[in-house]
Structure 1
Amino acid sequence: MGTSLGITTDNQGRKHVSEPCLEPCPIERGMRVLGGKWKGSILWHLKDGPVRFNDLARQLGGASKKMVVQRLREMEEAGLVTREVVSDRPIAVTYEITEFGKTALSFLEALKNWAEEHQI
C-alpha cells in the first residue's frame, strides 16, 4: 500500500482516507472567506476602484439588494472590502477592495479564464 497526504491505496488500487482531517483544510478555510454566491463577482467589480452601492448592485444583475448588503457586510468583516459613507442626505455609500481583497484577484482571473476556456 502507498501513502500520500493521509490517503492510502490498497492492493486493488482503491483509495482510502487513512486519517481524518481534524482542522479545516486551506481550501475550506478559503471558501469560508470567499465562498458564497456573489463574493467573487463583488471583488471583481471593485478591482478598478471604489464603486457606489447602487452601481455595484446593478452590475451584479441577478442579486437582490438585500443579498448584496449581506455579502458586503460579510466581506467587510473578513477585511476584503471597506465601506465609506460619501453623503448623508441622500445616503450614498461606496465600497472599495482592500489590499487583502486584492490578493484574491489573481485566482479569480484564473477562474474567469478557466470558465471562458471551457465555455461554462
Structure 2
Amino acid sequence: MRARVEQDAKGRRQVVEACLEPCAIEKGMRIIGGKWTGSILWHLKDGPVRFNDLSRMIGGASKKMITERLRQLESQGLVRREVLDTAPVSVQYEITDFGATALGFLNELRLWSEGLPQSMVRDE
C-alpha cells in the first residue's frame, strides 16, 4: 500500500493514509544502506577478491566490520564466499548475479556524489 497525501483547505500537505509496511525505498535501504555495504559490492564488481585484499581496498573499515557486512551480504544472497584450498587457508568473496543488479544504481550514486560540492562532503 502506498501512502496517500492530500492538501487541506490552506494548501498544506497531510498524510491521510500511511504505509503499513516499508516502502520500496526503505526495503532497499535496509539491504544496501548499511555502512560499507555499497563499497564492498562496488569492490567486488570486477571479480572475486580475497578478504585481505578487500579489507585493504576499503580504507577506514575495520576487518571486524567488513566481516560482519560480508556475512550479512552472504545471507541476503548478494555475495558468495569461497574457502580456498591454500596454505594458509584463505577466503575470497564474489558478487552474485543478484548482487550485481545493485551496481547500476551504485554507479549512479557514485556519479552523483562526485558532483557534490566539497562543502557538503564530511567525514563521520
- Choose from 32, 52, 55 the match for 2:53: 55
- Report the CA distance between 1:5 and its aligned residue: 5.0
Identity %: 60
Q: How does 1:100-111 map to 2 (within 5 A)?
A: 100-111=98-109
2:32 corresponds in structure 1 to 34
Q: Over aligned residues, Cα RMSD in angstroms? A: 1.4
- Map of 1:1-120 to 2, 5 A cutoff? 5-87=3-85, 89-119=87-117, 120=121
Q: Give the Å deviation of 1:89.
A: 3.5
CA deviation vs aligned residue, 1:7-34 (integer Å, no higher than 9, x gap) = 1111222111101211111111111111
Q: Distance in 2 between matches of 1:31 and 1:77?
A: 16
Task: Name the amino acid aligned to 2:40.
Answer: I
- Cα deviation per residue 1:20-49 (whole Å; 9 max; x = unaligned)? 211111111111111110000000000000
**Contact 2:3/2:15, CA 8 A, preserved across alignment:** no
Q: CA deviation at 1:105?
A: 0.3
SS at match of 1:63: coil
Provide Cα deviations, 1:45-98, integer angstroms capped at 9, x if missing partner. Answer: 000000000000111110000000000000000000000001353120000000
SS at match of 2:93: strand
Detail structure 1 runs of 4+ shifted over 2 Å in the superposition.
none
Please, what TM-score do these two structures have when normalized by structure 1? 0.92
Secondary structure at the aligned position of 1:17 is classed as strand
Aligned residue pair count: 117
In structure 1, the gaps of 5 or more residues are none
